A and B are shown apart, each in its own frame.
Chain A
Amino acid sequence: MRSPETGVRARYGMVVDLDRCDGCGVCVVACAVENNVPAGHERATERTGIAWLRVQRLEGPAGSAAFLPLMCQQCDARTPCASVCPQNAVQVDASSGIVGQVPARCLGCRYCMAACPYQARFFNWWDPEWPGTLVETLNPAVSTRTRGVVEKCSFCSHRLQAARARQAADGADRSKPPEYTPACVEACPAGALVFGDLEDPGSEAARLSRSPDCFQLLERLGTGSKVFYRTRRPWLRNAALGAPGTERRHDA
């Protein structure tokens, strides 16, 4: 995958250290604030609400629990959502490997939601509302979405655009992909999220993704997701491999 403009090839991915995640929910809120995801409607539930990043609780032995942040897994091969979209509203960026969503093209057919094995896509059942003057806190780098379209995690691709713009403005070497950090990674107080270019052997994310205690969710489907999870606890690994995307349905 090479960018037609610069010829730069990158494959951004994330490694989630489940042994560090304490389920504080900071990543969930940071994601919503950064990406202008509105507060839930009064009638919104776990099935109909929008949270691009969710944290699921996994029950462990002797009353213990662990937490699993779940977002779009940024499938690398045979991206299920992209292959079913009739509107070409799901686009895989060749230069970064990021699976993007173009709300302006979305018809709201929700084929992509049905196709996503991770159930990481969300439909806008209500018009977005920012009560009071909260509209003043919106991020201008991310467009707001209306009722009737699907949205999902984009690895904060607007931050990648900004990083590219900075790279160009600074006259930096454009043969290297720019480094940037998604909002959830930036905000995580536990350092449980590591982000970087998986193609860059020097990146921490690439190094961690190759460690033996790393795994991908629903690996058997061969989606080649670019979100890796790691844990040294066997029960947690088993629970994570079994739980996500199979227990909850977000479509009402």
Chain B
Amino acid sequence: MTSITRRQVLYGLGGGVAGTILSPLPWKVLDDVAIWTQHRHTLPVPRRGETTLRPATCTLCPGGCPMRVRFVGDRPIFAMGDPSHPMGGGACPFGLTLHQLAHHPLRLATPARRGADGVPMPLELGAAVAFVAGALKEAARTGRGVLVLDQRPGRVVSRAYRELLACLPRGEYATPEDEGGTLATLARPGQPLGIDLERTGTLLSFGAPVLAGWGRPGRMLAARRGLRVVQLDTWRSPSAALADEWLPIRPGSEGAVALALAHVVVSEGLVEAPAPEVRRLIARFHPARVAPSAGVEAQRLAALARSLVSSGPTAAVGGGDPGGGPLAPDDERAIALLDVLLGSVGKPGGIVARGTVPEESCGSLAPERQLREVPDGGAGLLILDAVDSGRALPWAAVERKLAPDALVVSLSPFASGLARRAHVQVPAPAPLEGWDEVLPTADATAASYWIGAPLVPPPPGATDPVELLRQVAAAAGIAASATGSHEDLLRRRAEAIHASGRGRVLARTEDGFREQKLPDASAAWRALRNGGCWIDDAVTPAHAVATAPSAEAVEGWLRGEAAGRDDLPLVAFAARGASGGTPACPVLTKLYQETELRCSVASVAVSPLTAREHGLRDGSRVRLESAAGAVTATLRCDPTLPPGRAALATGPDPAALHGKATAVPQGALALIVVGPDLTWRGTRVAIREA
């Protein structure tokens, strides 16, 4: 019997190890480990079900894009624009997250009341109603105002608010500025105006995001080919980057530039001679005088002015940026005056009239006013409506309308935006959970109307605003409130549209939309209820009212900006939907954090020259301070940004993107200094290394 040596054992072991390594076994083990680790119990496995496609409407901004939502079982999993819709053409990235909003971490599930420590405590609906009704009665007893802030006027809910407010001694119904500032300046009461984009030669935009979420985006996309877009903007905005021409004007010079353009077309006899007082006004705005304060060469202004006539018809629009806020009323007046001088009003391809959406007749309504027209400090109760305009509205602009101890009630479904300031929160249904309506956008040339029907049930704690108003009115002993449910009010509006005999209804069929003869009002309601759309007839030519800018503004424009200041004008900006009351869905980190496609509130841009002047390096942390507050951000040297200004976004709030609520606003929203006219384009910031 031969003995086994130690060496043979080692050879055997070594050979075994080598053989195992060379065999498929290790790879199989690795493979299995990879597969096992992929099936962690923590990974969600989505529920399956039947796939269906349902029509919907995005109501995150006034654009009201028609949508299609794909459901798996009863769960909406994908939203997209509906190109088959007569008013369709796509949706923006925010619209694509429409179905996710009901599941957003900042979604409010039940009514709540903020305690003294600021922490919201859940409240029964009945208690919330009693609380609001008590505040209404108290306001009526003490003679203090009740203010409703509605960011999308003209809906049936808006009328319900106005009916309720009409019954109160000091009921105020207010809306913030929207993107149709110039058109509203020109319009006569009850005669809204729009822009005939399909036949416009040149669209002259004074900072309005005309190519990046403005009006109804699908319409602009369709009209873009053949349309010359000139963007006068204080930074290289997305619209400026896509425009045919961009003039980088200085912040606050919009009105002066509009009058300089008017000066050229009038002095060179390119348009009809205006009235003597207008001629005297614009004679003071020679391009050479405006050029230094505008930051654009006089020759370039003159060439642009000539091209407005040669490449007409031209429509000039202001309205401001969703983050930068509205233009000052005097700026809008100057732009409107330019429109009138160019002969754009009432002309095909220019600014034309449109009708209004028919409404049922009812009792008295509180007048609709702009928020800036509401007296300061008078409101003892503020009700913030549930919907969002997608534009920034700083709390400071709202707060100045309130009495010191005013009660704030929010109907927003989310704990974000202005709703964070509310003492009482009564959440409304989130998008896709409730009824909604789409009214004409500011640029529309014909009135239109369609309805967004609920697609998923709201949670038990959500209350429709119409139902809430009905309960509050009953509890407060107010008789003349809207009767019926939200659906009843919508049905009455469909009946009013049918009774008007105007326009046509395009009903949704299996193979698209088809004009439908409607025998009665019920048929009109059914067509609209099932995703149909009403489009008005064309109306008679427009008549405009142009008002000259105030003498104070004119003198200010001619003086220009004082030189030698260390602080910089703040160029606040945001995409429509990014800094309103609706929180951004977490998936939007793909645009604001994980790619460089959109600028977030985390970085402030200055030109390389300005950075050098302030001793700042690209990528360094900087502190920005204004009279309203201070923020820290990462400096980004942007060679496309003209010197002498700092550009910072107002949203989206990065905390909301990660499902967290913050008590303080972020980005430019924290720095904004709101002026008496509720604009904040004059905000200046000091910048230094953090």
**0/1 string, A148-169, CB within 8 A of B gives 1:** 1100000000000000000000
Interface presence of B100 (CB below 8 A): yes
Provided the pairs A22-B212, A25-B597, A131-B658 are in contact, do residues A49 and B589 lie with their beta carbons within 8 angstroms?
yes
How far does the Cβ of B639 sit from chain A's closest Cβ, in whole Å? 9
Contact of B48 among A33, A57, A67, A140 (CB under 8 A): A140
Which of chain B's residues 84-120 have a Cβ closer than 8 Å to chain A? 89-93, 96-97, 99-100, 103-107
27 contacts between A and B (CB under 8 A): A22-B242, A29-B591, A39-B657, A46-B596, A49-B594, A63-B241, A63-B246, A63-B640, A64-B242, A87-B30, A105-B31, A105-B34, A106-B34, A132-B659, A133-B103, A134-B103, A134-B586, A137-B99, A140-B45, A144-B43, A149-B38, A183-B78, A187-B91, A188-B90, A189-B90, A189-B217, A189-B218
List, in ascending order, chain A residues with CB within 8 A of B40's CB: 146
- In contact, B597 and A40 (Cβ under 8 angstroms): no
Interface code B565-595, partner A: CB below 8 Å = 1, 0 otherwise?
Answer: 0000000000000000000011111110111
Q: Which residues of B contact A45 (CB under 8 A)?
A: 593-594
Residues from chain B with Cβ under 8 Å of A103 in the complex: 38
Please tell me if the beta carbons of B212 and A51 are within 8 angstroms of each other in the complex. Answer: no
Q: Scoring A residues 40 to 73 as 1 if CB is less than 8 Å from chain B, else 0, what string do you get?
A: 1010111001110011110100111101000000
Most chain B CB inside 10 Å of its own CB: which residue of A49, A64, A67, A134: A134
Bound-complex Cα distance A40 to B588 (A) = 9
Interchain CA distance A191-B150 in the complex, whole Å: 35
Over the window 631-670 of chain B, the binary record of Cβ atoms lying under 8 Å from chain A Cβ atoms (1 yes, 0 no) is 0000000001000000000000000011100000000000
Report the stretch among B17-25, B69-77, B420-428 that lies at the interface.
B69-77
Would A55 and B595 count as touching, CB distance under 8 A?
Answer: yes
- A residues less than 8 Å from B211 (CB atoms): 22
Is A127 interfacial (CB-CB < 8 Å)?
Answer: yes
Q: Which residues of B contact A44 (CB under 8 A)?
A: 589, 593-594
CB nearest neighbor in A for B30: A107
A62's nearest neighbour on chain B, judged by CB, is: B246
B278 to chain A, nearest CB (A): 33
Q: Does A245 contact B (CB under 8 A)?
A: no
Residue B6 at the A interface, CB < 8 A? Answer: no
- In the complex, A158 Cα to B659 Cα: how many Å? 29
Instruction: State A187–B657 Cα separation when bound (angstroms).
Output: 22
Instruction: Knowing A26-B91, A29-B93, A187-B96 are in contact, say whether A51-B78 is a contact too (CB < 8 A).
Output: no
Q: Is A77 an interface residue (CB 8 A)?
A: no
Interface residues of A (CB under 8 A from B): 22-26, 28-30, 32-34, 36-40, 42, 44-46, 49-51, 54-57, 59, 62-65, 67, 86-87, 103-107, 127-128, 130-140, 144-146, 148-149, 183, 186-190
Does B42 touch A at the CB level, under 8 Å?
Answer: yes
Nearest CB on A from B603, distance (A): 12
Given the complex of chains A and B, what is the CA–CA distance between A37 and B594 in angstroms? 12
Inter-chain CA distance A187–B94, complex, in Å, is 12
Q: Does B3 contact A (CB under 8 A)?
A: no
**Residue contact B80 to A186, C-beta cutoff 8 Å:** yes
The answer to whether A65 and B78 have CB atoms under 8 Å apart is no
**Shortest CB distance A88–B (Å):** 9
Q: Are B44 and A130 in contact (CB under 8 A)?
A: yes
CB distance from B79 to the nearest CB of A (A): 8
Instruction: Give every chain B residue within 8 A of A130 (Cβ-Cβ).
Output: 44, 586
Measured CB to CB, the closest approach of chain B to A106, in angstroms, equals: 6
Check B141 for interface membership: any CB of A closer than 8 A.
no
A23 touches B38 (CB 8 A): no
Given contacts A22-B212, A33-B97, contact A39 B658 (CB under 8 A): yes
Report B-chain residues with C-beta under 8 Å of the C-beta of A137. Answer: 75-77, 99-100, 103
Q: Is the CB of A131 within 8 A of B44?
A: no
Of A36, A49, A62, the residue contacting B590 (CB under 8 A) is A49
> What A residues does B103 contact at CB under 8 A?
132-137
**Cβ B217 vs Cβ A33 within 8 A:** no
Asked if A26 meets B100 with Cβ closer than 8 Å, knowing A49-B593, A87-B31, the reply is: no
Name the one of A42, A54, A136, A139 contacting B78, with C-beta atoms under 8 angstroms.
A139
Assuming A50-B594, A137-B100, A139-B72, is B80 touching A30 (CB within 8 A)?
yes
B37 at the interface (CB under 8 A from A): yes
Residue of B nearest to A59 (CB): B640
